[in-house]
Amino acid sequence: MDVAPASTDTWPDELFDLLKAYEVRQVAYVPDAGHSRLIRRCQADPGIKAISLTTEEEGIALMLGAWLGGERGVLLMQSSGVGNCINMLSLAILHRTPMPMLVTMRGDFGEFNPAQMPMGNATQAVLEAMGTVVRRADHAADVAPTAEATLRMAFNTFRPTATLIGQRVLGAKTFGKD
Amino acid sequence: MGNTVPSGRLRRREVVPALLADRGGLLVVAGLGAPAWDITAAGDHPRNLPLWGGMGGAAMIGLGLALAQPEQPVLVITGDGEMLMSLGALATIAVARPANLSVVVLDNEHYGETGMQPTHTGSGVDLAGMARAAGIPRVPAVATMEEVAALRGAIHERSGPLFAQVKIDAETLPLVLPPREGALLQARMRESLLGPEAHLA
Protein backbone atom coordinates (compact mmCIF):
# COMPACT_ATOMS: atom_id res chain seq x y z
CA MET A 1 0.00 0.00 0.00
CA ASP A 2 1.02 3.54 -0.55
CA VAL A 3 -0.28 6.67 1.07
CA ALA A 4 -3.12 8.90 -0.01
CA PRO A 5 -2.32 12.62 -0.29
CA ALA A 6 -3.32 14.74 2.69
CA SER A 7 -6.60 16.59 2.27
CA THR A 8 -4.64 19.84 2.30
CA ASP A 9 -2.52 18.77 -0.68
CA THR A 10 -3.70 20.54 -3.80
CA TRP A 11 -1.80 18.66 -6.50
CA PRO A 12 -4.44 15.94 -7.12
CA ASP A 13 -7.01 18.65 -7.88
CA GLU A 14 -4.47 20.46 -10.05
CA LEU A 15 -3.97 17.24 -12.02
CA PHE A 16 -7.72 16.94 -12.51
CA ASP A 17 -7.88 20.54 -13.74
CA LEU A 18 -5.11 19.73 -16.23
CA LEU A 19 -6.97 16.69 -17.57
CA LYS A 20 -9.98 18.93 -18.18
CA ALA A 21 -7.93 21.75 -19.71
CA TYR A 22 -6.28 19.32 -22.15
CA GLU A 23 -9.63 17.76 -23.05
CA VAL A 24 -8.73 14.27 -21.90
CA ARG A 25 -11.80 12.06 -22.38
CA GLN A 26 -10.58 8.60 -21.35
CA VAL A 27 -8.79 8.07 -18.06
CA ALA A 28 -7.58 4.52 -17.49
CA TYR A 29 -6.52 3.55 -14.02
CA VAL A 30 -5.80 0.80 -11.56
CA PRO A 31 -6.64 1.34 -7.89
CA ASP A 32 -4.01 3.51 -6.26
CA ALA A 33 -3.99 5.42 -2.98
CA GLY A 34 -1.76 8.14 -4.41
CA HIS A 35 -4.17 8.82 -7.25
CA SER A 36 -7.33 8.10 -5.22
CA ARG A 37 -8.69 11.65 -5.18
CA LEU A 38 -7.92 12.19 -8.87
CA ILE A 39 -9.66 8.90 -9.74
CA ARG A 40 -12.75 9.86 -7.72
CA ARG A 41 -12.94 13.23 -9.46
CA CYS A 42 -12.64 11.58 -12.90
CA GLN A 43 -15.37 9.06 -12.00
CA ALA A 44 -17.65 11.94 -10.98
CA ASP A 45 -17.12 13.95 -14.18
CA PRO A 46 -19.66 13.22 -16.94
CA GLY A 47 -17.17 14.42 -19.59
CA ILE A 48 -14.61 11.77 -18.65
CA LYS A 49 -14.85 8.04 -19.17
CA ALA A 50 -13.00 6.57 -16.19
CA ILE A 51 -11.99 3.03 -17.12
CA SER A 52 -10.99 0.64 -14.35
CA LEU A 53 -8.42 -1.88 -15.60
CA THR A 54 -7.45 -5.36 -14.47
CA THR A 55 -3.80 -4.75 -15.43
CA GLU A 56 -1.91 -1.70 -16.56
CA GLU A 57 -1.04 -2.74 -20.11
CA GLU A 58 -4.77 -2.71 -20.88
CA GLY A 59 -4.50 1.05 -20.47
CA ILE A 60 -1.75 1.34 -23.10
CA ALA A 61 -3.96 -0.47 -25.63
CA LEU A 62 -6.97 1.61 -24.58
CA MET A 63 -5.08 4.85 -25.27
CA LEU A 64 -4.31 3.70 -28.81
CA GLY A 65 -7.99 2.95 -29.38
CA ALA A 66 -9.03 6.31 -27.94
CA TRP A 67 -6.62 8.18 -30.23
CA LEU A 68 -7.74 6.18 -33.27
CA GLY A 69 -11.24 7.41 -32.51
CA GLY A 70 -10.21 11.03 -31.97
CA GLU A 71 -10.15 11.12 -28.17
CA ARG A 72 -7.31 11.80 -25.77
CA GLY A 73 -6.44 9.25 -23.09
CA VAL A 74 -4.26 9.21 -19.98
CA LEU A 75 -3.07 6.26 -17.89
CA LEU A 76 -2.79 6.52 -14.08
CA MET A 77 -0.77 3.83 -12.34
CA GLN A 78 1.86 2.94 -9.78
CA SER A 79 5.48 2.34 -10.70
CA SER A 80 5.01 -1.43 -10.24
CA GLY A 81 2.46 -1.34 -13.07
CA VAL A 82 4.97 0.19 -15.44
CA GLY A 83 6.64 -3.20 -15.65
CA ASN A 84 3.41 -4.70 -16.96
CA CYS A 85 3.32 -2.19 -19.82
CA ILE A 86 6.71 -2.73 -21.41
CA ASN A 87 5.90 -4.72 -24.57
CA MET A 88 2.56 -2.98 -25.08
CA LEU A 89 4.41 0.35 -25.28
CA SER A 90 5.65 -0.87 -28.68
CA LEU A 91 2.26 0.29 -29.96
CA ALA A 92 2.98 3.92 -29.05
CA ILE A 93 6.23 3.91 -31.02
CA LEU A 94 4.91 1.89 -33.97
CA HIS A 95 1.80 4.02 -34.45
CA ARG A 96 3.15 7.35 -33.07
CA THR A 97 0.37 7.53 -30.51
CA PRO A 98 0.21 10.09 -27.68
CA MET A 99 0.30 8.09 -24.43
CA PRO A 100 0.77 10.24 -21.33
CA MET A 101 1.20 8.37 -18.05
CA LEU A 102 1.03 9.76 -14.52
CA VAL A 103 2.92 7.35 -12.28
CA THR A 104 2.98 7.35 -8.49
CA MET A 105 6.28 5.95 -7.30
CA ARG A 106 6.90 3.07 -4.94
CA GLY A 107 10.31 1.62 -4.16
CA ASP A 108 11.58 5.13 -4.04
CA PHE A 109 12.18 7.73 -1.32
CA GLY A 110 11.92 5.98 2.07
CA GLU A 111 10.28 2.73 0.93
CA PHE A 112 9.48 0.20 3.68
CA ASN A 113 8.51 -2.83 1.57
CA PRO A 114 11.50 -4.60 -0.01
CA ALA A 115 9.29 -6.11 -2.73
CA GLN A 116 8.69 -2.64 -4.15
CA MET A 117 12.37 -1.82 -4.62
CA PRO A 118 13.29 -3.75 -7.81
CA MET A 119 10.53 -2.28 -9.99
CA GLY A 120 10.66 1.15 -8.35
CA ASN A 121 14.36 1.35 -9.01
CA ALA A 122 13.89 0.25 -12.65
CA THR A 123 10.81 2.33 -13.52
CA GLN A 124 12.49 5.27 -15.22
CA ALA A 125 15.06 3.08 -17.00
CA VAL A 126 12.52 0.72 -18.53
CA LEU A 127 10.19 3.52 -19.62
CA GLU A 128 13.10 5.31 -21.29
CA ALA A 129 14.28 2.06 -22.86
CA MET A 130 10.86 1.87 -24.54
CA GLY A 131 11.10 5.38 -25.92
CA THR A 132 9.11 7.22 -23.26
CA VAL A 133 10.00 10.80 -22.33
CA VAL A 134 10.20 10.76 -18.53
CA ARG A 135 10.24 13.66 -16.09
CA ARG A 136 10.15 13.46 -12.29
CA ALA A 137 8.36 15.55 -9.70
CA ASP A 138 9.78 15.19 -6.19
CA HIS A 139 8.06 18.16 -4.59
CA ALA A 140 4.34 18.82 -4.44
CA ALA A 141 4.70 22.17 -6.19
CA ASP A 142 6.36 20.45 -9.17
CA VAL A 143 3.67 17.82 -9.79
CA ALA A 144 1.24 19.88 -11.87
CA PRO A 145 3.84 21.72 -14.00
CA THR A 146 5.61 18.42 -14.72
CA ALA A 147 2.34 16.67 -15.57
CA GLU A 148 1.41 19.53 -17.87
CA ALA A 149 4.72 19.10 -19.70
CA THR A 150 3.98 15.36 -19.95
CA LEU A 151 0.56 16.04 -21.49
CA ARG A 152 1.92 18.64 -23.90
CA MET A 153 4.83 16.50 -25.09
CA ALA A 154 2.51 13.52 -25.65
CA PHE A 155 -0.27 15.30 -27.53
CA ASN A 156 1.93 17.74 -29.44
CA THR A 157 4.72 15.36 -30.43
CA PHE A 158 2.91 11.97 -30.63
CA ARG A 159 4.79 9.68 -28.27
CA PRO A 160 4.63 8.03 -24.85
CA THR A 161 5.49 10.36 -21.98
CA ALA A 162 5.45 9.98 -18.21
CA THR A 163 5.57 12.00 -15.03
CA LEU A 164 6.93 10.07 -12.08
CA ILE A 165 5.47 11.45 -8.84
CA GLY A 166 8.14 10.69 -6.26
CA GLN A 167 7.47 8.95 -2.99
CA ARG A 168 8.85 12.04 -1.29
CA VAL A 169 5.63 13.76 -2.41
CA LEU A 170 3.38 10.85 -1.46
CA GLY A 171 5.00 9.63 1.75
CA ALA A 172 5.85 5.99 2.48
CA LYS A 173 3.61 3.65 4.42
CA THR A 174 5.55 1.96 7.17
CA PHE A 175 2.95 -0.42 8.65
CA GLY A 176 3.54 1.23 12.05
CA LYS A 177 7.27 0.39 12.00
CA ASP A 178 9.12 3.64 11.51
CA MET B 1 -20.52 -21.50 -49.21
CA GLY B 2 -18.49 -24.08 -48.84
CA ASN B 3 -15.36 -25.76 -49.57
CA THR B 4 -15.51 -28.30 -46.84
CA VAL B 5 -12.42 -29.27 -44.95
CA PRO B 6 -11.81 -32.58 -43.16
CA SER B 7 -12.36 -31.01 -39.75
CA GLY B 8 -15.86 -29.96 -40.81
CA ARG B 9 -15.16 -26.57 -39.25
CA LEU B 10 -15.68 -23.16 -40.76
CA ARG B 11 -12.88 -21.63 -42.81
CA ARG B 12 -11.39 -18.35 -41.66
CA ARG B 13 -11.32 -16.75 -45.08
CA GLU B 14 -15.00 -17.47 -45.55
CA VAL B 15 -15.95 -16.25 -42.07
CA VAL B 16 -14.05 -12.95 -42.21
CA PRO B 17 -15.38 -11.69 -45.57
CA ALA B 18 -18.90 -12.59 -44.40
CA LEU B 19 -18.40 -10.53 -41.23
CA LEU B 20 -17.03 -7.58 -43.23
CA ALA B 21 -19.68 -7.70 -45.97
CA ASP B 22 -21.52 -4.40 -46.58
CA ARG B 23 -19.38 -2.96 -43.84
CA GLY B 24 -20.70 0.60 -43.88
CA GLY B 25 -18.91 2.58 -41.19
CA LEU B 26 -17.56 -0.53 -39.46
CA LEU B 27 -14.22 -0.04 -37.67
CA VAL B 28 -12.07 -3.17 -37.52
CA VAL B 29 -9.13 -4.00 -35.26
CA ALA B 30 -7.38 -7.29 -36.04
CA GLY B 31 -5.01 -9.14 -33.74
CA LEU B 32 -1.52 -9.80 -35.00
CA GLY B 33 -0.90 -12.76 -37.25
CA ALA B 34 -3.56 -14.58 -39.23
CA PRO B 35 -6.51 -12.31 -38.26
CA ALA B 36 -4.56 -9.33 -39.63
CA TRP B 37 -3.88 -11.22 -42.87
CA ASP B 38 -7.53 -12.31 -43.03
CA ILE B 39 -8.99 -8.80 -42.87
CA THR B 40 -6.48 -7.70 -45.47
CA ALA B 41 -7.38 -10.61 -47.75
CA ALA B 42 -10.98 -9.39 -47.53
CA GLY B 43 -9.84 -5.99 -48.86
CA ASP B 44 -7.58 -3.47 -47.16
CA HIS B 45 -9.52 -0.47 -45.91
CA PRO B 46 -8.82 2.83 -44.08
CA ARG B 47 -11.06 1.64 -41.26
CA ASN B 48 -8.94 -1.48 -40.73
CA LEU B 49 -6.26 -1.52 -38.05
CA PRO B 50 -4.30 -4.73 -38.57
CA LEU B 51 -1.90 -5.12 -35.66
CA TRP B 52 1.75 -6.06 -36.08
CA GLY B 53 2.48 -6.27 -32.36
CA GLY B 54 1.11 -5.53 -28.92
CA MET B 55 -0.08 -9.10 -28.44
CA GLY B 56 -2.91 -9.14 -25.92
CA GLY B 57 -4.00 -5.60 -26.75
CA ALA B 58 -6.57 -6.05 -29.52
CA ALA B 59 -9.74 -6.14 -27.39
CA MET B 60 -8.67 -3.12 -25.33
CA ILE B 61 -7.83 -1.12 -28.46
CA GLY B 62 -11.35 -1.93 -29.55
CA LEU B 63 -12.70 -0.67 -26.23
CA GLY B 64 -10.92 2.69 -26.49
CA LEU B 65 -12.10 3.09 -30.07
CA ALA B 66 -15.68 2.09 -29.23
CA LEU B 67 -15.84 4.59 -26.37
CA ALA B 68 -14.49 7.36 -28.60
CA GLN B 69 -16.87 6.58 -31.49
CA PRO B 70 -20.14 5.34 -29.95
CA GLU B 71 -22.08 5.86 -33.18
CA GLN B 72 -19.87 3.47 -35.16
CA PRO B 73 -19.85 -0.30 -34.83
CA VAL B 74 -16.41 -1.55 -33.76
CA LEU B 75 -15.29 -5.11 -34.46
CA VAL B 76 -12.21 -6.75 -32.97
CA ILE B 77 -11.21 -9.92 -34.82
CA THR B 78 -8.49 -11.85 -33.09
CA GLY B 79 -7.16 -15.32 -32.45
CA ASP B 80 -7.53 -17.66 -29.52
CA GLY B 81 -3.89 -17.25 -28.49
CA GLU B 82 -4.13 -13.46 -28.47
CA MET B 83 -7.40 -13.51 -26.52
CA LEU B 84 -6.06 -15.99 -23.95
CA MET B 85 -3.33 -13.46 -23.20
CA SER B 86 -5.80 -10.79 -22.10
CA LEU B 87 -8.72 -12.50 -20.39
CA GLY B 88 -8.89 -9.61 -17.94
CA ALA B 89 -9.92 -7.39 -20.84
CA LEU B 90 -13.19 -9.35 -21.01
CA ALA B 91 -13.94 -8.18 -17.46
CA THR B 92 -12.90 -4.60 -18.22
CA ILE B 93 -15.11 -4.54 -21.33
CA ALA B 94 -18.06 -6.06 -19.45
CA VAL B 95 -17.81 -3.33 -16.81
CA ALA B 96 -17.31 -0.49 -19.31
CA ARG B 97 -20.23 -1.90 -21.37
CA PRO B 98 -19.74 -0.26 -24.77
CA ALA B 99 -22.85 -1.15 -26.79
CA ASN B 100 -21.03 -0.76 -30.12
CA LEU B 101 -18.13 -3.16 -29.42
CA SER B 102 -17.98 -6.75 -30.71
CA VAL B 103 -15.06 -9.11 -30.13
CA VAL B 104 -14.90 -12.15 -32.40
CA VAL B 105 -12.29 -14.82 -31.71
CA LEU B 106 -11.33 -17.03 -34.63
CA ASP B 107 -10.45 -20.13 -32.64
CA ASN B 108 -8.27 -22.63 -34.46
CA GLU B 109 -6.92 -24.00 -31.15
CA HIS B 110 -3.36 -23.28 -32.26
CA TYR B 111 -0.64 -20.63 -32.30
CA GLY B 112 -0.36 -20.38 -36.07
CA GLU B 113 2.44 -17.82 -36.34
CA THR B 114 4.91 -19.81 -34.28
CA GLY B 115 4.44 -23.25 -35.78
CA MET B 116 0.97 -24.47 -34.82
CA GLN B 117 1.57 -25.30 -31.18
CA PRO B 118 -1.71 -26.07 -29.39
CA THR B 119 -3.46 -23.39 -27.31
CA HIS B 120 -5.54 -24.05 -24.21
CA THR B 121 -8.80 -23.80 -26.17
CA GLY B 122 -8.07 -27.22 -27.67
CA SER B 123 -7.92 -28.64 -24.14
CA GLY B 124 -11.36 -27.51 -23.11
CA VAL B 125 -10.88 -23.85 -22.19
CA ASP B 126 -14.15 -22.18 -23.15
CA LEU B 127 -13.59 -18.54 -24.13
CA ALA B 128 -17.29 -17.91 -24.75
CA GLY B 129 -18.07 -19.25 -21.28
CA MET B 130 -15.43 -16.93 -19.82
CA ALA B 131 -16.92 -13.95 -21.64
CA ARG B 132 -20.37 -14.85 -20.36
CA ALA B 133 -19.07 -15.26 -16.83
CA ALA B 134 -17.33 -11.88 -17.08
CA GLY B 135 -20.70 -10.32 -17.71
CA ILE B 136 -20.64 -9.66 -21.45
CA PRO B 137 -24.37 -9.62 -22.24
CA ARG B 138 -24.40 -11.00 -25.81
CA VAL B 139 -22.45 -14.18 -26.48
CA PRO B 140 -24.08 -15.87 -29.47
CA ALA B 141 -23.07 -19.37 -30.51
CA VAL B 142 -21.60 -19.41 -34.02
CA ALA B 143 -20.92 -22.72 -35.75
CA THR B 144 -22.45 -22.34 -39.23
CA MET B 145 -22.20 -19.79 -42.03
CA GLU B 146 -25.85 -18.90 -41.37
CA GLU B 147 -24.89 -18.02 -37.81
CA VAL B 148 -21.93 -16.01 -39.15
CA ALA B 149 -24.39 -13.99 -41.25
CA ALA B 150 -26.52 -13.41 -38.17
CA LEU B 151 -23.41 -12.37 -36.26
CA ARG B 152 -22.62 -9.83 -38.96
CA GLY B 153 -26.06 -8.33 -38.44
CA ALA B 154 -25.67 -8.27 -34.65
CA ILE B 155 -22.34 -6.43 -34.95
CA HIS B 156 -24.11 -3.59 -36.78
CA GLU B 157 -26.95 -3.40 -34.24
CA ARG B 158 -24.72 -1.83 -31.57
CA SER B 159 -26.59 -3.56 -28.76
CA GLY B 160 -23.62 -5.23 -27.12
CA PRO B 161 -20.99 -5.53 -25.97
CA LEU B 162 -20.89 -8.79 -27.88
CA PHE B 163 -18.42 -11.66 -27.82
CA ALA B 164 -18.31 -14.64 -30.18
CA GLN B 165 -15.95 -17.59 -30.31
CA VAL B 166 -15.95 -19.14 -33.78
CA LYS B 167 -14.27 -22.52 -34.09
CA ILE B 168 -12.39 -22.60 -37.38
CA ASP B 169 -10.18 -25.03 -39.24
CA ALA B 170 -6.47 -24.86 -38.39
CA GLU B 171 -5.47 -24.42 -42.03
CA THR B 172 -2.43 -22.38 -43.02
CA LEU B 173 -3.22 -19.96 -45.85
CA PRO B 174 -1.13 -17.65 -48.04
CA LEU B 175 -0.03 -14.45 -46.32
CA VAL B 176 -1.83 -11.30 -47.40
CA LEU B 177 0.15 -8.55 -45.74
CA PRO B 178 -1.26 -5.11 -44.89
CA PRO B 179 0.88 -1.95 -44.76
CA ARG B 180 3.56 -2.31 -42.10
CA GLU B 181 3.90 1.39 -41.27
CA GLY B 182 1.99 1.89 -38.03
CA ALA B 183 1.78 5.67 -38.33
CA LEU B 184 0.04 5.29 -41.69
CA LEU B 185 -2.40 2.72 -40.32
CA GLN B 186 -3.31 5.01 -37.43
CA ALA B 187 -3.52 8.19 -39.52
CA ARG B 188 -5.74 6.69 -42.20
CA MET B 189 -8.33 5.49 -39.69
CA ARG B 190 -8.31 8.86 -37.92
CA GLU B 191 -8.71 10.68 -41.24
CA SER B 192 -11.58 8.40 -42.20
CA LEU B 193 -13.36 9.35 -38.97
CA LEU B 194 -12.29 12.95 -38.44
CA GLY B 195 -11.40 14.21 -41.91
CA PRO B 196 -8.24 16.23 -42.63
CA GLU B 197 -8.59 17.81 -39.18
CA ALA B 198 -7.25 14.52 -37.83
CA HIS B 199 -3.74 15.57 -38.82
CA LEU B 200 -4.01 18.98 -37.15
CA ALA B 201 -4.86 17.64 -33.69
Each residue of A50-74: pLDDT tens digit? 999 999 999 999 999 999 999 999 9
User: How many domains would you assign to chain B?
Assistant: 1
In a domain, B123, yes or no: yes
In a domain, B5, yes or no: no
Contacts of B28 in chain A (CB under 8 A): none
In sequence order, what are the residues at sequence separation of 6 or more whose Cβ sits closer than 8 angstroms to the Cβ of residue B6?
none
- Judged by a CB distance cut-off of 8 A, whether residue A84 touches chain B is no
pLDDT value, residue A6? 84
Mutation site, B186, B188, B191, interface A, largest A CB count within 10 A: B186
- Judged by a CB distance cut-off of 8 A, whether residue A57 touches chain B is yes
In a domain, B1, yes or no: no
Q: Any idea of the CA torsion for A130, A131, A136, A141, to the nearest 10 degrees?
A: -130
In a domain, B116, yes or no: yes
In a domain, B3, yes or no: no
Would you tell me the crossing angle of helices A11-21 and A140-157 to the nearest 10 degrees?
20
- Judged by a CB distance cut-off of 8 A, whether residue A156 touches chain B is no
Confidence at A178, pLDDT banded by 50, 70, 90: low
Residue B2 has pLDDT above 60, yes or no: no
> Cα dist. A73→A26, A117, B51, B67 in Å?
5, 29, 20, 11
- Judged by a CB distance cut-off of 8 A, whether residue B184 touches chain A is no
Residue B3 has pLDDT above 70, yes or no: no
Q: What is the distance in angstroms between the Cα of B18 and the nearest Cα belonging to chain A?
A: 24
- Judged by a CB distance cut-off of 8 A, whether residue A138 touches chain B is no
Architecture of the structural domain at A11-170? 3-Layer(aba) Sandwich (3.40)
Instruction: Using CB atoms, pick whichever of A53, A54, A65 lies closest to residue B65.
Output: A65
Domain CATH code at residue B28:
3.40.50.970
Q: What is the distance in angstroms between the Cα of A163 and the nearest Cα belonging to chain B?
A: 22
A&B contacts, CB < 8 Å: 123
Residue A5 has pLDDT above 90, yes or no: no
Instruction: Using CB atoms, pick whichever of A55, A71, A96 lies closest to residue B68.
Output: A71
Contacts of B86 in chain A (CB under 8 A): 58
pTM: 0.97
Q: What is the distance in angstroms between the Cα of B88 and the nearest Cα belonging to chain A?
A: 6
How far apart CA A74 and CA B44 sit, in angstroms, is 30
pLDDT value, residue A61? 98
Count of CB atoms situated within 10 Å of the CB of A115: 11
**Where do the structural domains in chain A lie, given as residue ranges?**
11-170
Residue A177 has pLDDT above 80, yes or no: no
Residue B201 has pLDDT above 90, yes or no: no
This complex has an ipTM of: 0.97
In a domain, B187, yes or no: yes
Q: Kindly report, residue by residue over B81-109, the tens digit of the pLDDT.
A: 999 999 999 999 999 999 999 999 999 99
In a domain, B61, yes or no: yes
Helix, strand, coil percentages in chain A from 3-state DSSP, rounded to 5: 50, 20, 35
Contact at CB, B64 and A66, closer than 8 angstroms: yes
Name the strand (E) or helix (H) holding A37.
helix A36-44
In a domain, B6, yes or no: no
What is the residue range of B137's domain?
Answer: 12-50+57-200
> Cα dist. A22→A149, B66, B163, B173 in Å?
11, 21, 34, 46
- Alpha-helix residue ranges (DSSP H) falling in chain B: 12-20, 34-41, 58-68, 80-84, 87-96, 127-134, 145-157, 182-194
Residue B1 has pLDDT above 90, yes or no: no
Contact at CB, B91 and A54, closer than 8 angstroms: yes
Instruction: Using CB atoms, pick whichever of A55, A67, A90 lies closest to residue B54.
Output: A90
- Judged by a CB distance cut-off of 8 A, whether residue B53 touches chain A is yes
Contacts of A55 in chain B (CB under 8 A): 88
